[in-house]
Amino acid sequence: MVSTPAASLQNSCQFLPEWTVEDPSPNQFLMPLTAAVNSQDHLTIGGCDVVDLVQQFGSPLYILDEQTLRTACRQYRDGFRHYYPGESLVIYASKAWNCLAVCAIAASEGLGIDIVSGGELYTALQAGVPSDRLYFHGNNKSRDELQQAVVANCTIVVDNWFELETLVAIAANTEAPVRIMLRLTPGIECHTHDYIRTGHIDSKFGFDPDQLDEVFTFVAQQPGLDCAGLHAHIGSQIFELNPHQDLTDVMAGWLDKAAQAGLPVRELDIGGGLGIRYTESDDPPSIHDWIQVICEGVVRACETRQLPLPKLIAEPGRSLIGSACVTAYTVGSQKVVPNLRTYVTVDGGMSDNPRPITYQSLYRAVAASQMSAPLTETVAIAGKHCESGDIIIQETTLPTTQPGDTLVILGTGAYNYSMASNYNRVPRPSAVLVQDGEASIILQRETYLDLIRQDRLPNRLAIASE
């Protein structure tokens, strides 16, 4: 197959910025890093022709580029090693996309895994992730989930008093102390960033800043708990660096406070939140820039307070996997509303990507079989679900498309599969992992049998056949 570098893609992908192999920050690109166009004018990813992939595996199809995912993992891992003089660990926030293959890739790059449910814990363990690299988050873990986490020996990020008390009871029956971290609400007053202010006043997550002394003193008195560190997460899809810089100072203040309350902790987890480029107008900082700001902030804040450097943990999700995946759909019906809009409908929608209908998120699309064709039509890309709001892109330019054409939505790696549903009893799609011209199934397409697997029909409802 003949391919050209991603940077030379024309028309449909003219919005691709220049990138160099030495320093790509995947979150700054609309396409996976291996995207190219072959001699048939088809989009290729990981050396695989996207149109061929759809023929082979059907659609909708999540296409995950291994090289892009691994590049982002290494950028995070190596970035912390480069900018932080102390110990560091990057843990992948697997809520962005939790499945066996993705957990295995992240773990093979030396990352830990952030999990938020018994199901995510189970998946990570089945993928072979070492339990000392598992961090269990969540604001309402059940007693069963906590018990599983204790047995599995992962770190539990304690969110509230109820959980703390449940854990003290569980720890009464364990041989070794249970390893925990405490999630605290940062309460950063930062008037230019609404999400932080909202998080401070309204957040359902973490201990309230007013309660720090009480929490620290209580935890310090629990022989059954080994409190390793403190955690905060300020939000997601963030493009500014200031909030995280502010966070480092607030968190170093917590370290000081904890030590004074008799709870000397040794780890600081600053959460995730770095944004990615979904459309041309998005301009997120690079992974390296984000890391540099955080590392310098922590070092400075600890020096000022004469504190030893903690082990520094970050837990990115979206910026690790978001740009590594695209979703390929097949075009079906089209509806022209004269003088208003043309709807091009695809064979998926809010069941495989609920983000547009949930957050009014914006996406970019390309026609995979005619990458250099002129963009002659302005259309809406509609999903197939029975909701008027099931529109993947409200307005985009495309070449003329026909039923059967392959349309690709970019940047669907994060919070797409993980938030997918069976709405309208639509089976969830397959996902393939592509690399060096090979595609491996990592998620099998659901079948109709899968859809009724958990259904039960009481005898009295059985419809007698004549």
Q: How far apart are CA 390 and CA 381, in angstroms?
A: 9
Map tokens 């047995």 to a residue. Answer: 151
Q: Would you state the structure tokens that stand for residue 445, as one six-digit string?
A: 């397409």
Q: Which lies closer to ligand LLP via its Cβ, residue 297 or residue 316?
A: 316
What is the dihedral angle through the alpha carbons of 406, 407, 411, 413, rounded to the nearest 10 degrees? Answer: -50
CB of 419 to ligand LLP, least distance (A): 6
Q: How far apart are CA 270 and CA 316, in angstroms?
A: 10
- Which residues, 277 to 306, sit near ligand LLP by CB under 6 A? none
CB of 92 to ligand LLP, least distance (A): 9
Q: How far apart are CA 35 and CA 238, in angstroms?
A: 25
Instruction: Specify whether the CB–CB gap between 394 and 355 falls below 8 A.
Output: no
CB of 317 to ligand LLP, least distance (A): 3
| Interface with ligand LLP (CB under 6 A), residue from 165, 359, 422, 438 | 359
Q: Which lies closer to ligand LLP via its Cβ, residue 115 or residue 408?
A: 115
DSSP codes joined into one string, 221-268: T-TTEEEEEEE----SSB--SHHHHHHHHHHHHHHHHHHHTT----EE
Q: Would you state the structure tokens that stand for residue 239, as one six-digit string?
A: 């493009």
| Interface with ligand LLP (CB under 6 A), residue from 11, 28, 236, 292 | 236
List all residues 6 or more positions away from 464 whose beta carbon is below 8 Å from its beta carbon: none
CB of 432 to ligand LLP, least distance (A): 22
Q: Which lies closer to ligand LLP via its Cβ, residue 319 or residue 396?
A: 319
Instruction: Specify whether the CB–CB gap between 398 and 357 falls below 8 A.
Output: no
Q: Which lies closer to ligand LLP via its Cβ, residue 271 or residue 349?
A: 271
244 binds ligand LLP per the rule CB under 6 A: no
| Interface with ligand LLP (CB under 6 A), residue from 77, 133, 137, 428 | 137
Q: Would you state the structure tokens that stand for residue 38, as one six-digit string?
A: 């072959």
Q: Total binding residues for ligand LLP by CB under 6 A?
A: 21
315 binds ligand LLP per the rule CB under 6 A: yes
- Using DSSP's 3-state secondary structure scheme, residue 142 falls into coil
CB of 217 to ligand LLP, least distance (A): 25
Map tokens 């363990």 to a residue. Answer: 125
Of the candidates 114, 111, 118, the residue with the CA atom closest to the CA atom of residue 90: 111
- Interface stretch with ligand LLP, choices 123-131, 195-203, 231-239, 372-380 (CB under 6 A): 231-239
- Interface stretch with ligand LLP, choices 144-152, 158-166, 269-277, 340-348 (CB under 6 A): 269-277
Instruction: Specify whether the CB–CB gap between 114 and 94 falls below 8 A.
Output: yes
316 binds ligand LLP per the rule CB under 6 A: yes
Q: Would you state the structure tokens that stand for residue 22, as one six-digit string?
A: 């030495």
β-pairing verdict for 377-382 and 391-398: antiparallel
Q: Which lies closer to ligand LLP via its Cβ, residue 57 or residue 136?
A: 136
Q: Which lies closer to ligand LLP via its Cβ, residue 159 or residue 405?
A: 159
CB of 453 to ligand LLP, least distance (A): 26
- Which residues, 104 to 123, sit near ligand LLP by CB under 6 A? 114
Active site annotation includes 386: yes
Q: Interface mask (CB under 6 A) for ligand LLP, residues 75-104, using x and -?
A: ------------------x-xx--------
355 binds ligand LLP per the rule CB under 6 A: yes
Q: Which lies closer to ligand LLP via its Cβ, residue 72 or residue 258?
A: 72
CA distances from 32 to 113, 283, 316, 425 (A): 22, 16, 18, 30
CA distances from 184 to 204, 245, 255, 448 (A): 11, 17, 12, 44
- The dihedral sign for the CA sequence 334, 337, 343, 347: negative
Q: Which residues bind ligand LLP (CB under 6 A)?
A: 93, 95-96, 114, 137, 233, 236-237, 271-274, 315-319, 355, 359, 414-415
Tell me the catalytic residues. 386
